[in-house]
Structure 1
Amino acid sequence: MTTDTTLAAVHDFARSKMRDDETGHGFDHIQRVVGLTERLLQAYPQVDRLLTLTAAYLHDVIDEKLVADTRVASQEVRTFLAAQGFSGAQQETIFLIMTNMSFHKTLDGTAKPLPLAGQIVQDADRLDAIGAIGIARAVYFGGHFGEKIYDPTVTPRTQMTHAQYRDLGHETVINHFYEKLLTLKDLMNTTAAKKLAAHRQWVMEDFLTEFKAEWQAQR
Structure 2
Amino acid sequence: MNLEEFIPDPKTRALIERTREFARGFFEREGTHGFSHVERVFNLCLHIGREEGADLEILALAALLHDIARPLEDAGKVEDHAAEGARIAKRFLLSLGYPEEKAEAVAHAIEAHRFSRGPEPRTLEAKILSDADKLDAIGAIGIARVFMYSGEHGRDIESSLRHFEEKILKLKDLMYTETARRIADDRHRFTVEFIERIRREIEGEL
Query: What is the TM-score when the length of structure 2 is the normalising length?
Result: 0.84
Matches within 5 A, 1:201-212: 201-212=188-199
Can you give the 5+ residue segments of structure 2 that lack an aligned partner in the other structure?
A: 1-9
Counterparts of 2:62 and 2:119 in 1: how far apart (Å)? 16
Within the candidate set 185, 197, 207, 2:184 is matched to 197
1:57-78 Cα distance to aligned partner (Å, 9 max, x none):
1111123643543387665433
How far does residue 217 in structure 1 lie from its aligned partner after superposition?
1.1
Can you give the 5+ residue segments of structure 1 that lack an aligned partner in the other structure?
A: 151-171
Root mean square deviation of aligned Cα = 2.1
Counterparts of 1:66 and 1:74 in 2: how far apart (Å)? 17
Q: If each structure's helix is expressed as a fraction of its own residues, which one has the higher value?
A: 2
1:132-168 Cα distance to aligned partner (Å, 9 max, x none):
0000001101221222221xxxxxxxxxxxxxxxxxx
Counterparts of 1:73 and 1:188 in 2: how far apart (Å)? 22
Within the candidate set 26, 31, 36, 2:34 is matched to 26
Within the candidate set 49, 58, 73, 1:51 is matched to 58
1:201 is aligned with what amino acid? H
Percent identity, please. 30
| CA contact 1:6–1:84 (8 Å) conserved in 2 | no
Counterparts of 1:75 and 1:101 in 2: how far apart (Å)? 14
Matches within 5 A, 1:1-219: 2-18=11-27, 20-22=29-31, 24-45=32-53, 47-63=54-70, 65-66=73-74, 68-70=76-78, 76-105=88-117, 110-150=118-158, 172-219=159-206
Counterparts of 2:86 and 2:122 in 1: how far apart (Å)? 19
Query: What is the TM-score when the length of structure 1 is the normalising length?
Result: 0.79
| CA contact 2:128–2:176 (8 Å) conserved in 1 | yes
1:77 is aligned with what amino acid? A
2:22 is aligned with what amino acid? F
How far does residue 128 in structure 1 lie from its aligned partner after superposition?
1.0
Partner SS, residue 2 of structure 1? helix
Which structure is richer in relative contact order (CA contacts within 8 A, separation 6 or more)?
1
Instruction: Rate the CA distance shift 1:186–1:111 in 2: closer, same or farther, 3 A.
Output: same
